[in-house]
Structure 1
């Protein structure tokens, strides 16, 4: 399994320049080792500003971005990546994802173009995002060990057991986005009980549950220092077997991100 830091800062919908830059700077200075962005978030430049202002050695944190669906043709992947690097103000990223298997995505052509990013030294690794188990199999058959992660929605209301097993089978990391179910974790009775028991927030419970799983990384989005710190403290929470069983017995399945072009 890859060495992607277990907790990252998600930046989706964090598009206001100063706020986004400040959240990235704050996270890095607090001790986050993983920052996640994407071309379509329209904030790579702001993320780059936050990285610069944090003055943290580039080798001390993991940086990931994603190629949007209209840039996935063989001829567009590399030029779009060059633009991303310029906006981020870095020479390379640690991980570049295919954001969705949609739009201009053609498995062989797109994945070979993504592998070119590694060959050119623009990305250390490549990943996929929002891929189904079948699509993970297909991608691994083409690009193999260059793929280190599949980033998908995962939280107590969408537990992704089948997909996690598929990722483990291929020795790739499942990176969980929307790990707080867009705030719904605060209204789940089981999480309320566990949070009260440990004297922590429901957000920390959800994040701890994810991070205790083998092969799972969580990237909660946060912009305020309070939430950035609260999420960071989830790394200190150890859930016991009873807590885990209570979460995994939740009999609800609610997907928060479900665009019309999704593969499921």
Structure 2
């Protein structure tokens, strides 16, 4: 598995997203992914599934040193004391003694970003997480965290797929060696019925979702965390690495509308 080096960690470019993977079926899905060869698992306290993710990791027998585990602190837990408590609680649920990457899941209105990042760095210094990062941060927030505060941001996890332009954030982060981790990378399945994506997939004997993933994975400093509950789907996502897109394919994807944001909760920041 190809990896991205960032802030002292090697993050596999393809991981398993676990949002809405819960209960026994969710645990089975994580166990299946680990058996298929996934070594990057993404969860969050908000998902309510850290316990089953931890149980799956424990049952897998995979050496902890081979795994990259990301979890996240929710946006209403961003006071220094509550960040520390959330970190401890997540660690207990996951049955781990450290994370590989701990993220601020969403920015909060009126948050004290310097205090938040200082607390996150403290967790890293204490060995509770190997690296820290952010998710759903806009360009101004990234500039504040990286330039003004000087935080060792290891990634920005954002919605990114063939229908959403994220070039401003990519153009800012790539020269700094800070990767983007793409969630909803197949646009919640919308690529499946897209004629353009179907045509490209047929050309390569692939599936539209594989084309969407390979388009992301071909980009420098971009990882993707598709969710899949079935072993067949997980294998299909891994096999996306075998697809070879050409300039014609990339031009067709570039021509698709790029303003379709699928994740925009009421508490989201001003994306513009």
TM class by shorter chain equals over 0.9
Among candidates 91, 94, 113, match of residue 97 of structure 2: 91
What's the CA shift for 1:252? Answer: 4.0
The answer on whether the counterparts of 1:8 and 1:33 sit within 8 Å (CA) in structure 2 is yes
1:222-264 deviation digits (Å, cap 9, x = unpaired):
1111211111111222211211121112134211100111112
Distance 1:143-1:54 versus aligned 2 partners, 3 A rule: farther
Distance 1:243-1:67 versus aligned 2 partners, 3 A rule: same
Distance 1:145-1:103 versus aligned 2 partners, 3 A rule: closer
Distance 1:27-1:142 versus aligned 2 partners, 3 A rule: farther
2:112 aligned residue: 106
Among candidates 198, 209, 214, match of residue 203 of structure 1: 209
Determine the C-alpha separation between the residues in 1 that align with 2:247 and 2:20: 35
What's the CA shift for 1:170? Answer: 2.6
The answer on whether the counterparts of 1:115 and 1:143 sit within 8 Å (CA) in structure 2 is no
Determine the C-alpha separation between the residues in 1 that align with 2:49 and 2:140: 31
Structure 2 residue 5 is matched with structure 1 residue 4:
no
Q: TM-score of the superposition, structure 2-length normalised?
A: 0.93
Aligned residue pair count:
263
Among candidates 53, 62, 70, match of residue 76 of structure 2: 70
1:172 aligned residue: 178
The CA RMSD over aligned residues, in Å, is 1.3
Q: TM-score of the superposition, structure 1-length normalised?
A: 0.96
Instruction: Provide the secondary structure at the position in 1 that maps to 2:80.
Output: coil
Q: Which runs of 5+ in 1 are unaligned?
A: none
Distance 1:170-1:145 versus aligned 2 partners, 3 A rule: farther
1:14 aligned residue: 21
Determine the C-alpha separation between the residues in 1 that align with 2:121 and 2:197: 41
1:137-167 deviation digits (Å, cap 9, x = unpaired):
1011355362110000000001311111111
